[in-house]
Structure 1
């Protein structure tokens, strides 16, 4: 079959895949020496997909502004009752254009068809003519991007065209069951791309908090939306053009940043998972992995089993979940100490779970096999068995991708001999592989996955626990001081280099796993809680915060700002002697927060929680989170709210316990609730430097008593 995202040449009635001229055959042969011919063939196939640079077609982004008589309310996309005010288009060919309707406020600007800065502006007397021109321009592009265009821009344009009497052939927007696209072009809704959990975490670094265009763009490219106080329909034309074009511009920039990283990721993942770009950009990673596995089944003429057929033999789970709601025991996490430790090194297994899948031959058909097997191996702890007679499908695919990422593309992405363009491409390759590899085991433990096989996922985590506990024992026998262990990494205090080298060698020989230095910290401050620490890199340029509440995205602004100031102080600590002065400064900052809260010294905006609606209000059936309670109150005041809206609310006294900021008064604020939140935010950090919350309360009360 044809591989999505790959290049083909037309030869008569045939499509011939592009061949790659490469001098790396010897490198592949060395890496996969001793592997089966099937593994070698799969590696060569993947290598061909990775080495062919992606196409860069003509691309554009679109953003639409629509009149609405109500502030903060979008008009209904089905009936499309109100006029389209403007359509902004930004293209990779340099196009920067806004088509605008000469509505009443537009005439006040006295602007005719002329550029506004570097933006080409074209005014229209009729909405019909404006939309006709927009459709004509968009036909020039092969890929068109929007942000939340599936939910608003495209359906509104399509349905508005019907209202205006367009003939079907004049409308270039097509409707499918759950998305919209353009005739003759690919439509990518970037909201769906940046909302994808796997991409957000492993490709985009989890840098953005909310999934709104403003939040994502601010975090990734450092530019956000133009701020306006009025609805678009009340703006003059100059401001409307600026506002509308900025949205289109930053949408396109989310594609072109880092040398078209987003587009290249989509192309690579499309090739890897054999999924079309429009489907890939709108689906979760379990669907990608399913498509990839199904492709390999069909290529080999294998029968694709039904989920119920697999579960006849693979239903049993033999470990008990520690975390409520989980089906089986997960990764091991050691109890950390409390306090600050200098010169800490973090050892990390290179792709631990994918490596386990490869080494232990884990696949839905090999674990607890239903066929006769000569070479059976028992999984530690859970007593499942795995057949080693022949390579399992998942083991073959995940193992090969893992080896290519670790042994080829991670190295090439940092190779100083290569051009920056080559390194960027290879970094994209290893990022795409990382996205798939990190989800490769978990899908088998999800009953939503087509090849659901709980013993496979349970076996991966069981071997992971066995591996890390064995490694810790070996480390301690070598005299290394292990402070903490989490899933696939270990924190070692002031390590001896010779002992480290011995440990790495022993793990490679016994488990066929690569143990490597991941990070070196100047110091790590542990709170005593699992997955809960603060670490400062040796150079002081990076601060890693795990699990500490001050980092949480939905915290009120005053807490986020104060927490950031405390972290900046900790960042300056060079050695244990510096802690005495920093200790007092931090104590003073937290005491001031306590005092200001007691004295009602913060504004409503500073106290506000800002939380996004992950679905429409009607979709919250089982429980009603606090931001949804606030949203319901807003809805009662004629505010239309949809998925993706940010709800700003404060905690108040009374039955509901919350109110939207716009409906609340400062006198209603529940100070005790905010003191509890401040305590939970800072207590974890304070514990690491030997300050208790009781110390803060006592000092503040004493100063208040003496009138300070």
Structure 2
């Protein structure tokens, strides 16, 4: 007998028995583990198999479909499956399947192997087995075992992230540095500095003022010229904002006394006033804290055994600027962060002019960084000249942060990609958002960037031509984009995206609710030019796919701004000759 109370059973059969995850079949524990590329890593699979074995399950079977419509993918999957045979695991079934079959299970016999697909409530299936469900409410009602397993996976992933990033250790160090009794308060800069001021000098801060936020001009960010550049040295000013605060003697208590004596007369006489204020022995607790922490950071920076504490000190020092700009902080002093950004803008712009005067081109500058085009053998010399010049502006220092063999700008601020001299690629500002790409186009933009940076520009045209050709033969599931409803359909009002309007008109989506995911495909024969669905079999008519719109949204707009920097226009991808 089979005991199973869940909503979704297996539809596969091994040794004449239908197998169900984590359930007893004929009085004997048995489980089938699926192995795929969808949400598990190989390490996760191996770990889980061993856990099941220790629990007494016969975990010897791994099923994997081979989709004959994707030969390369099938070959790769087969290779991964065969790897398990070397570890003593039995392969139950490797069977070619046809993904064009209609319906969910109606045309499948109990021993058929089916590929990954999605049902309502984001229920993911591999080989017909419910393996992942993204709707907690549905899982609680229909699949408590699946919900439990999902939660276990999430805890495991969080643990792995923490082991790699040391997140808990970081916040524990913050707690110890400032003297907080509980870990919860470490996520708020205002709480950290409230506690620091209390522990440092027994200073009890005034009540919050509940003032509104005051806007001020931020950091200087240079508008870059689009293009690809070689040999770029990236220099960073060290501890820039904390050093400005110290050099300019910026302290809320001093500023308050200065304003009481001089009114809002600007900064011209402030520094002289601050120096006298300090020499008279009056308290400047903010400066004392920043200065003491800066000294401690310098002391620890070459001691690897203190790297956790060093990271904590860096985090606190970096927030010494921002917390003063927050109305939620008891010492809210927007004039100070405004002054810090003013000094920072003047300093970085003056340095950029110096670099140009010395004969080098400044490609980009951002807050505390300068990107200068300079031969590698001249970098040390330029760094020394920059540090010598910085003494004119204050107690600052600058160092080489990276050297880019090649860097690409698309003309937008804070958006560039580069390859370092060690061969590592860094990408900043490009949004590789998985939800706005289909299975077919995921990773496309990043691949084009890698081609540009690694000298494979001559492959790009043919690569994109192939992609635009292949996409037209894709099945619906491979070109659909997934969207999750952030609220109930009826709550979408005013200007609405086409897929929302279409979903409201679709009778097959009448049970759609907040948190549900839908698939979207540009279509010529559906309302609002999109076919919206959860399961393809629910659609009343075959979709007349609008491939022109799909190519424009998923390929052209993703890569056009990049390939233009190397002289390739989208017209060339379409078969027109390049204009000289």
Provide the TM-score with structure 1 as the length reference: 0.54
The alignment partner of 1:638 has SS state of: coil
1:303-322 alignment, distance < 5 Å? 303-308=204-209
Corresponding position of 1:587: 461
The alpha-carbon deviation at position 112 of structure 1 amounts to: 6.7
Alignment-derived partner of residue 23 in structure 2: 106
CA RMSD of aligned residues (A): 4.7
Residues 693 and 385 of structure 1: CA distance in aligned 2, closer, same or farther (over 3 Å): farther
Corresponding residue of 1:458: 338
Query: Does the 8 Å contact 2:252/2:286 carry over to 1?
Result: yes
Residue in structure 2 matching 1:228, options 131, 145, 153: 131
Equivalent position to 2:452, from 557, 570, 576: 570
Shift of the alpha carbon at 1:493? 0.6
Alignment of 1:517-596 (within 5 A): 517-540=400-423, 542-549=424-431, 551-556=432-437, 557-573=439-455, 582-596=456-470
- After superposition, the Cα gap between the structure-2 partners of 1:410 and 1:688, relative to the gap in structure 1 and judged at 3 Å, is farther
**For the residues of structure 2 that align with 1:635 and 1:400, how far apart are their CA atoms?**
65
Contact 1:67 1:232 in 2 (8 A): no
Change over 3 Å in CA distance of 1:427–1:634 after alignment to 2: farther
Return the alpha-carbon distance in structure 2 between the equivalents of residues 253 and 548 of structure 1.
Answer: 26
- Deviation at residue 677 of structure 1 after TM alignment: 4.7
- Paired residue for 1:158? none
* CA deviation after TM superposition for structure 1 residue 438, in Å: 3.6
Report the CA distance between 1:247 and its aligned residue: 4.4
Counterpart Cα distance in 1 of 2:436 and 2:507: 21
Structure 2 vs 1, CA of residues 110 and 334 (structure 1 numbering), >3 Å: closer, same or farther? same
Assess if the C-alpha contact under 8 Å between 2:198 and 2:204 holds in 1: yes
User: In 2, Cα distance between the equivalents of 1:530 and 1:401?
Assistant: 32
Paired residues, what number? 454
Q: Alignment partner of 2:473: what SS?
A: coil
Matches within 5 A, 1:184-199: none
Q: Give the C-alpha shift of residue 468 in structure 1.
A: 0.4
Q: Which residue does 2:245 correspond to in 1?
A: 357
SS of match in other structure, 1:528: coil
Alignment of 1:117 with 2:18, yes or no, is: no
Contact 1:367 1:385 in 2 (8 A): no
- Structure 2: gaps of 5 or more residues: 10-19, 32-47, 58-128, 134-138
C-alpha distance 270-229 of structure 1, shift in aligned 2 (>3 A): closer
CA contact under 8 A between 1:409 and 1:427: conserved in structure 2?
A: yes
CA distance in 2, matches of 1:458, 1:594: 50
Which stretch of the first structure deviates more once superposed, 614-623 or 493-502? 614-623
What does residue 22 of structure 1 align with? Answer: none
Establish whether residue 638 from structure 1 lines up as the match of residue 522 from structure 2: no
Q: Which of 331, 334, 358 is the matching residue for 2:222?
A: 334
SS at match of 1:484: strand
What's 1:474 paired with? 354
1:486-536 deviations in Å (ceiling 9; x for gaps): 111111112433233111222145321121110011111222332222210
The alpha-carbon distance between structure 1 residues 255 and 534, as it changes in their structure 2 partners (threshold 3 A), is closer
Matched, 1:249 2:249: no
Larger Rg: 2
- Counterpart contact for 1:306–1:450, Cα < 8 Å: yes
More deviation in 330-339 or 652-661? 652-661
Provide the rounded CA distance (Å) in 2 between the counterparts of 1:481 and 1:679: 32
**For the residues of structure 2 that align with 1:561 and 1:695, how far apart are their CA atoms?**
22
TM-superposed deviation, 1:348: 0.5
Specify every segment of 5 or more residues in structure 1 that has no aligned partner in the other structure, as ranges. 1-65, 72-102, 124-225, 318-326, 414-421, 574-581, 702-708
What is the deviation of 1:67? 7.7
Residue 266 (structure 1) aligns with: 171
8 Å CA contact 1:533, 1:547 repeated in 2: yes
The 1:637–1:507 alpha-carbon spacing in structure 2 relative to 1, beyond 3 Å, is: same
The whole-number CA distance in structure 2 between the counterparts of 1:448 and 1:353 is 21
